[in-house]
Amino acid sequence: MPYLSLGGRRKMFFKSHGKGCALVFIHGAYGSHNLWNRQTSFFSSKYDVITVDVRGHGLSFKPRSGYELEKMVEDIMMLLDHLKIESAVFVGSSMGGVIAQMIGIKYPLRVKALVLVGTLAKAVWYGRAKEIAETALAGGYQKGVRGWFTPNSSKEDIKVALREAAKTSEFFLRGVIMENPNWDIRREISAIQAPTLIVVGKGDVNTTPVKESRIIHRRISHSQMKVVPNSGHLVMLEEPEIFNRIVDEFLVKNLR
């Protein structure tokens, strides 16, 4: 299995398919590289598709602490260095979208374009980290994952999301909240100059509502936004054909 050593026993799992411009797919909290399976075969015919498991998830290392978003950003950049990739398109879902935005802010010369899926630019727990962490832990991850979907969502899609969420470290949720208590990048993202596509499900009412995507859209001048009608939080999983078409059209237009 392909792993990147981050020092000591820390190893990050990744996969690479295809050739060409690199597309780096970054999943969100309680996800894994498998949530992008419906994109891998589609895009790998034209691009170098790279999927990862961020720390605490999937097949990657699972520390007790160290869930600062800045560290997740550096993990991704270490992977690019390892693969000798100078610049890439970053496709991030939810927390992965936050990581992608932060890469756009800190490493603008390494970003060809951004695709932000069901994400936001300010912590939902801002100013209430301890309270939200305790509530979330008491509810269990299953309730949160089910909240990503609409009443009309496929049972199979929900099953996939729950299966991947079960692989997440027991230390992740409290860590990511308490170690990033007041993150807010709304002002910083105005500096992003890379072409940016923002995709959000109309039915994403519990996790990253459409209004959060509109905030990002207003802040990033070179951005466009697409609302997918029949999807919840994980557009790439629930509406892969629509998602793939929207992203493909965006890449064709902006990677000339």
Q: What is the number of other CB atoms lying within 10 angstroms of the CB of residue 117?
A: 31
- Taken in order of first residue, the domains within the chain and their CATH numbers are 3-254 (3.40.50.1820)
Contact between residue 22 and residue 56 where contact means Cβ atoms under 8 Å apart: no
Q: What is the token pair recorded at 22?
A: 């690199």
Most distant pair of Cα atoms in the chain: their distance: 49
Please give the angle made by the CA atoms of 71, 208 and 162, to the nearest 5 degrees: 75
Contact between residue 117 and residue 92 where contact means Cβ atoms under 8 Å apart: yes
Contact between residue 221 and residue 126 where contact means Cβ atoms under 8 Å apart: no
User: What tens-digit pLDDT sequence spans the chain (256 residues)?
Assistant: 799 999 888 999 999 999 999 999 999 999 999 999 999 999 999 999 999 999 999 999 999 999 999 999 999 999 999 999 999 999 999 999 999 999 999 999 999 999 999 999 999 999 999 999 888 888 789 999 999 999 999 999 999 999 999 999 999 999 999 999 999 999 999 999 999 999 999 999 999 999 999 999 999 998 999 999 999 999 999 999 999 999 999 999 999 7
Q: What is the pTM (predicted TM-score) of this model? A: 0.97
pLDDT of amino acid 135: 86
**Which single residue is written with the structure tokens 């690019």?**
80
**Which single residue is written with the structure tokens 């001048």?**
221
CA terminus-to-terminus distance, the chain: 34
Question: Radius of gyration (Cα) for the chain, nearest Å?
Answer: 17
User: Beta strand pairing status for 10-17 and 48-52?
Assistant: antiparallel
